[in-house]
Structure 1
Amino acid sequence: MKKVITLLFLVTFGFVNAQEAFKGKGDIKVNVGANLQDGGSGIQGSVDFGLGENFSFGFVANYILGFDNFNGFYHGSADVYHDAEPDFSDRFDAKARINANLSSVIGVKELDVYPGLSLGLHNFGGHVGGRYFFTEGFGVFTEIGFPIAKYGSNNDPFYHLNNQATFSLGASFNL
């Protein structure tokens, strides 16, 4: 019962003291969290810089820590893989991105919903995310990313690691 009361208190406190999620020009947001996808999971870090009332640009990087090893033949290749692991270039991705920050449009200043586009090492893609700030400096975020156009050829078993839909969640900080 104490845990339920504590949780209700924290949730109520967070909603009562919520702060503005996106202030516009000059605003800087940093997100750090978990990145979840098919075949692997890892960490994601991003930074967004406000350029106007509803527009920001930034950078995002992902690194896959846990992954599924590959055994067998890949796409009819004559090469057989035995317990193969992805190399650094398969595990790491970095992207530049732009966002449309919609908190003032939807009328909820504590919630920043931001669809956007990204151009990265592995693909051109899109994302939809949201941030909610409990205090002036701390909040939570969640984001879904997806490729629109993939680079390279599908000739190794780890090509899909940075060329698929991803789900991220974690902490957001206001600088």
Structure 2
Amino acid sequence: MKKVVTLLFLVSFGFINAQKAFTGKGDIRVNVGANIQDGGSGIQGSVDFGLGENFSFGFVSNYLLGVDNFNGFYGNHPTPYTDYKPEFKDRFDAKARINANLSSVIGVEQLDIYPGLSLGLKNFGGHIGGRYFFTDGFGVFTEIGFPIAKYSENNDVFDHLNNQTTFSLGASFNLQ
């Protein structure tokens, strides 16, 4: 029972003391967290810079740490792959992005919902995310990213890793 009471106290304290998630021009928000997707999991980092009341641009990158080696036949390759490992280029992706920050539009200052578009090394895509700040400098985020157009139709063994829907969650920091 003590754990439940403590958890309720912390959650209510966090909501009572919550801070603005996005204030506009001059904002710098950094997200660091886990990236989860089909065939691998890893880390994601992003930074967003406020340009106006409801607009920001930024950068995001991810690196897949846990990717299974491939064994078997793939595509038109006549011989089977044996313990085929993904290279750095298969595990890493980086993107520039723009966001529409909607906290002032939805009327909840502590919650920043941000849909956007991204242009990366592997594809052109979109994302929708949310940040909630418990204090002036610390919050949590979650984000779903998805490809709209792939740059290559190569069907290499690991091409799907950075060309699929991803889910991320973690900590968000205010560097303003």
TM surpasses 0.5: yes
1:34-87 deviation per Cα after TM superposition (whole angstroms, max 9, x unaligned)? 000000000000000000000000000000000121111112321421111110
The share of aligned pairs that are identical, in percent, is: 82
Who is 1:132 aligned against? Answer: 132
Provide runs of 4+ in structure 1 moved above 2 Å. none
1:101-144 deviation per Cα after TM superposition (whole angstroms, max 9, x unaligned)? 00000000000000000000000000000000000000000000
Instruction: Specify the code of the residue in structure 1 equivalent to 2:18.
Output: A
What is the SS of the residue equivalent to 2:46? Answer: strand
What is the SS of the residue equivalent to 2:22? Answer: coil
Distance in 1, matches of 2:145 and 2:119, equals 12
Who is 1:163 aligned against? Answer: 163
Distance in 1, matches of 2:82 and 2:3, equals 48
Who is 1:50 aligned against? Answer: 50
Unaligned runs of 5+ in 1: none
Offset at residue 153 of structure 1 (A): 2.8
TM-score, length-scaled by structure 2: 0.98
Who is 1:40 aligned against? Answer: 40
Instruction: Specify the code of the residue in structure 2 equivalent to 1:26.
Output: G
Distance in 1, matches of 2:117 and 2:149, equals 11
Instruction: Specify the code of the residue in structure 2 equivalent to 1:25.
Output: K
What is the SS of the residue equivalent to 1:136? Answer: coil
Instruction: Specify the code of the residue in structure 1 equivalent to 2:99.
Output: N
Of 128-137 and 76-85, deviating more is 76-85
Distance in 1, matches of 2:101 and 2:166, equals 20
Who is 2:62 aligned against? Answer: 62
The answer to whether residue 80 in structure 2 is matched with residue 93 in structure 1 is no
Instruction: Specify the code of the residue in structure 1 equivalent to 2:136.
Output: E
